[in-house]
Amino acid sequence: MKKLTTVEIDGAASDVWVEVPENEPAAWPKDAEMAVLGKALPRVDAYEKVSGRAKYTHDLNLPHMLWMKTLRSPTPHAKIVSIDTSKAEALPGVKLVLTHKNAPDIPWYAGRSKLFDTTLRFVGDEVAAVVAADEHIAADALALIDIEYDELAYVLDPETALQPDAPAIHEGGNLMQGRPFVYSRGDADKGFAEADHVVEATFRSPCQVHACLETHCSVAQWQGDKLTVWDSTQAVHPNREALARALELPIANVRVICLYSGGGFGSKLGLNKYTVAAAVAARALGRPVKVTLDREEEALAAGNRPANLMTIRAGCKKDGTLTALYMKNIGSVGAYPAGAGAGAPLREIFKCPNVKTEESNVFINADVARPHRAPGHVQGTWALEQALDMLAAKCGLDPLDFRLRNYSETDQVRNLPYSTKGLRQCYERGAAAFGWHDRAARRAQSRGAKKRGFGLATQIWGGAGGPPGYAIVNLYADGTAHVFSGCQDIGTASRTSMLQVAAEELGLTPDKLSITMGDTQGTPYGGVSGGSRTTPSQAPPVRMAAAEVKRQLLELAARQMNLPAERLATRDAFVFDTQNPSTRKPIAEVTRAGLTGPGAGPENMLIGKGWRGPNPDDVSISSWGAQFAEVEVDTDTGEVRVVKIVAAHEAGRVINPLTGSSQIEGGVIQGMGFALYEERVLNNASGRMVNSNLHDYKIPTAKDMPEIECVLVDLPDARANSVGIKGLGEPPIIPTAGAIANAVADALGARVFEAPITPQRVLDALARGKGGSGGATLSP
């Protein structure tokens, strides 16, 4: 056992201990010849997906199922004076109307709200829910609920919210925790005083909604006192526990299933009110209840990446060596507690002795922020990398040379060496693939109003994963195996990755394995699929469980082959003698002979259990990447076209180049949306979102796609874990916007300080004139 951390429970400090695996396999050596790992295996569920057989939560319709629709606040801040549901209840087909009057008092948002609250703090906050025979009746009934609201003053932007006379959304004011979060190392003032060049700029990043193609949804069904919830979620086991707490059930009585999900990006990490309301209604009515958010609800009330206003000051010596970095960040968390920090990249990526960040999380009357793929890092990197390009220009340095000059071999926040750091390879291989050093010649080819530009940006992400992570592997009498993981595959090909890890360790070909994920029944605990945790947290337990099975398999084989188990190994579905590899026996024959009982056929299985130990505390583990963007900007219309992105990433061992590239491409596309298209627009006069649909809220489409070239730096990290991997889920979205912004500035000779880079903002920047410094305005 090893002490992991100390947490506060009911006011008392409690130590959290982790069992350190004793028989965890040692890391594979870097040059080990792999049979399955690193190979471009197509996804194991590819057929299900392309044939439409893969069933998502939206697809599930149970016999006797009812539908729930939610009435949401039409006003950004109000108290409910009265609510009359009688007309709605009288509508034929309506089974139940839930409001604060009859729903259980389940605390929500860290106790600042309830499942159904009488104070509404944003447009979209839950007022009531109708359960009816179908969704159309439920929707009709919503309009029949009579409510009298006492409308309150509201505030939509964080700077106004911080004014002393701003409407207070919560007691204690609109600044979360009453103070900014301040980080400091060295002496920033001294660092700026020592600088030869200093730049300062203010950057404004948009509120980006997750825009999941499968909107949030759940189906709840009871059998006696046992609840099954099909939920489009990134966290079946944590949500099971949260449901158990909310409904005061034993954890064991709750089952959560999510076999496939159509996008989450962080917005499906936690438990949702509608899921609990559906479970409450299903229990009351004795029938299954389904709830799906429509596209507008998805935009209004499913979470978002918060908007940030970031002022960055950066100073360096003539040779480009950084002397000081500073960021002031104001982030809007929405109506309830959340996080809106953006300073991590500035604190972490580049070598700098004097760093200070001051960050304020501010309540506004809008939907609550939720983790959105690389929270904080996307906007923080976008701002930082632009400021660095401005500083590099002052020094007359190539942007890549400037970054290499400030390359850090250590984690300066934790004061630890990195386990491995492949950023230099990302820069070098990415630049080579991109033709970074030929860009002057390519820029000269620009014709007329369409200007070419080139930019790059860097990425750090703490993709170490860690406990909890468990796995069970069964090897059957026919020599096939099954992997049980409590995690879920949220579209990132986790099933395929885990299966490859197990196949490699067992020495089986992938066709001999199958896997269960996304179902709490019969799987050991798995954590959230978020924070790029899934692979580094789950793959080591899967390997350990497979190794435990292999140990037993080799014992059986040793007796059958009359050889010591230590001399035996497995590969390609054979057990073989390492001293004489032609002496071998199919694994299926070993299991059949070793596990077949005296009766009629196979009767047994081998079982292995694996779990995740804590990370080493003498190194820092991070994933790395650099992206290079080529853009073409039409200086007449202001339109930006991304021509090409080269994305070079290092996340330890490459498990599967196909799925790794797929992960990178998805990140680049989403990062492009942040850079160029996506922005929640609130109407100040009503507090409502004006683009709560996919017609007005633009996400990148197939026609917007640039050429994307993925460079996977394969650098197994033996200190990270036994599989040598780090997380790759979030990294690829992080540097895209910064690379594009720098490329746009390169093309224009003028910089757009506000994302998304819309045609109007491009034209405004051109009108404002060429400038190496400047910033966004301080009000919207």
String marking each residue 73-92 x if it binds its own copies according to CB under 8 A: --------------------
Q: Does 756 bind its own copies (CB under 8 A)?
A: no
CA 627, distance to chain mean position in Å, is: 19
In contact, 704 and 349? CB cutoff 8 Å: no
Asked if residue 59 binds its own copies (CB under 8 A), the reply is no
In angstroms, give the least distance from the CB of 454 to its own copies: 41
- If one asks whether residue 52 binds its own copies (CB under 8 A), the answer comes out as no
Q: What share of the chain is helix, strand, coil (3-state, %, to 5)?
A: 30, 30, 40
Q: Give first-to-last CA distance, the chain, whole Å.
A: 53
Spatial distance between the Cα atoms of 493 and 618, rounded to a whole number of angstroms: 31
Residue 245: CB minimum distance to its own copies, A = 7
Window contacting its own copies (CB under 8 A); options: 1-9, 454-462, 664-672, 673-681: 1-9
Stretch that binds its own copies, among 3-11, 132-140, 296-304, 630-638 (CB under 8 A): 3-11
Residue nearer to its own copies on the CB measure, 134 or 696: 134
Which listed range, 35-43, 389-397, 601-609, 672-680, lies at the site for its own copies (CB under 8 A)?
A: 601-609
Site string for its own copies, 452-491 (x = CB under 8 A): ---------------xx-x-x-x-xxx-xxx-x-------
Stretch that binds its own copies, among 85-93, 199-207, 427-435, 516-524 (CB under 8 A): 516-524
Q: Which one, 247 or 763, has the nearer CB to its own copies?
A: 247
**CB 228 to its own copies: min, Å:** 12
Phi-psi label, residue 77: left if phi above 0, alpha if psi -120 to 50, beta otherwise: beta
Q: Is 65 in the site for its own copies (CB under 8 A)?
A: no
Among the listed residues 524, 660, 671, 706, the single contact to its own copies using CB under 8 A: 524
Cα separation, 569 vs 631, whole angstroms: 52
Could you tell me the smallest distance in angstroms from the CB atom of residue 7 to its own copies? 6
- Inter-residue contact 274 to 115 (CB < 8 Å): no
Told to check if 597 binds its own copies by CB under 8 A, we report yes
Q: What is the footprint of its own copies within residues 551-580 (CB under 8 A)? A: 552, 555-556, 559-560
The DSSP letter of residue 153 is -
Sequence-separated (6 or more) residues with CB below 8 Å from residue 269: 233, 234, 235, 238, 370, 371, 528, 530
Choose between 26 and 110: whose C-beta lies nearer to its own copies: 110
Query: CB neighbours (10 Å) of residue 46?
Result: 14
Fill in the per-residue mask, 225 to 244: x = in contact with its own copies (CB under 8 A), - = not in contact.
xx-----------x--xx-x
> Distance (Å, rounded) from C-alpha 524 to C-alpha 469?
8
What's the closest the beta carbon of residue 224 comes to its own copies, in angstroms? 5
Q: Output 92 or 286, the one with its CB closest to its own copies.
A: 286
Q: What angle do CA 377, 754, 626 make, to 5 degrees?
A: 40
Give dist(CA 114, CA 80) in Å, integer.
Answer: 14
| CB of 751 vs its own copies, minimal distance in Å | 38
CB 285, min distance to its own copies, A: 14
φ, ψ of residue 398 in degrees (nearest 5) = -65, 135
Q: Which is nearer to its own copies, 97 or 575 (CB)?
A: 575
Residue range at the interface with its own copies (CB under 8 A); choices 151-159, 248-256, 434-442, 624-632: 248-256
Secondary structure letter of residue 245 according to DSSP: H
CB of 371 to its own copies, least distance (A): 12
Comparing CB distances to its own copies, the nearer of 14 and 683 is: 14
Q: Would you count residue 245 as binding its own copies (CB under 8 A)?
A: yes
Please identify which residue in 180, 353, 602, 614 interacts with its own copies, judged by CB under 8 A: 602
Among positions 610-669, residues that touch its own copies (CB under 8 A) are 611
Residue in 2, 30, 53, 101 binding its own copies, rule: CB under 8 A: 53
| CA distances (Å), origin 296, targets 84, 271, 317, 448, 697 | 25, 20, 51, 41, 11
- Strands (DSSP E) contained in 245-382 are 254-257, 289-292, 304-305, 308-316, 322-334, 355-363
d(CA 300, CA 340): 18
d(C-alpha 740, C-alpha 277), whole Å: 43
Q: Which of 104, 435, 594, 614 binds its own copies (CB under 8 A)?
A: 594
**Which helix (DSSP H) or strand (DSSP E) does residue 456 occupy?**
strand 450-461
Residues 423/650, Cβ–Cβ less than 8 Å: yes
Nearer to its own copies, 281 or 741 (CB): 281
Query: Is 385 assigned a catalytic role?
Result: no
592 lies in the site for its own copies, by CB under 8 A = yes
Task: Report 285-344 residues binding its own copies (CB under 8 A).
Answer: none
Q: Which stretch binds its own copies (CB under 8 A): 31-39, 44-52, 150-158, 207-215?
A: 44-52
Q: Which residue among the candidates 24, 297, 298, 730 is catalytic per the annotation?
A: 730
- Cβ nearer to its own copies, comparing 30 with 55: 55
Residue among 323, 488, 498 at smallest CA distance from 405: 323
Q: Which of 2, 32, 61, 778 binds its own copies (CB under 8 A)?
A: 61
Residues 6+ apart with CB under 8 A from 405: 319, 320, 321, 397
Task: Work out how close the CB of 466 gets to its own copies at its nearest, in angstroms, rounded to a whole number.
Answer: 10
- CA dihedral (439, 445, 447, 450) in degrees, to 10, reads -20
DSSP state of 689: B
- Rounded CA gap, 285 and 271, in Å? 22
Query: Counting Cβ atoms within 10 Å, is residue 301 exposed (0-12), middle (13-18) or buried (19+)?
Result: buried
Tell me the closest approach of the beta carbon of residue 344 to its own copies, in angstroms. Answer: 17
CA 583 – CA 581 distance, rounded (Å): 5
Q: Pick from 605, 699, 763, 766 the residue near its own copies by CB under 8 A.
A: 605
Q: Which is nearer to its own copies, 469 or 775 (CB)?
A: 469
* 17 makes contact with its own copies (CB under 8 A): yes
Write out the binding residues for its own copies, residues 249-278 only, by CB under 8 A: 250-253, 270
Q: Which stretch binds its own copies (CB under 8 A): 32-40, 207-215, 490-498, 506-514?
A: 506-514
For its own copies, which is the closer residue by CB, 4 or 106?
4
CB neighbour list of residue 580: distance below 8 Å, 6 or more residues apart:
none
* CB-based contact 157:81 (threshold 8 Å): no
607 binds its own copies (CB under 8 A): yes
Which of 119, 221 has the CB closer to its own copies?
221
Looking at residues 673 to 692 of the shown chain, list those that interact with its own copies (rule: CB under 8 A).
none
The H or E element that residue 190 is part of is helix 188-194
Phi/psi of residue 272, nearest 5 degrees: -110, 150
Query: Where in 159-198 is the site for its own copies (CB under 8 A)?
Result: none
- Report, in Å, the least distance between residue 576 CB and its own copies: 19
Indicate the residue among 528 and 633 with the shorter CB distance to its own copies. Answer: 528
Place of tokens 């003539």: 318
In angstroms, the Cα distances linking 727 to 437, 495, 538, 730, 732 are 30, 15, 11, 8, 11
Q: Which is nearer to its own copies, 241 or 294 (by Cβ)?
A: 241
Region 206-225 residues binding its own copies, contact defined as CB under 8 A: 223-225
284 touches its own copies (CB under 8 A): no
The number of residues that bind its own copies (CB under 8 A) is 76
693 binds its own copies (CB under 8 A): no
Which residues are known catalytic residues? Answer: 730
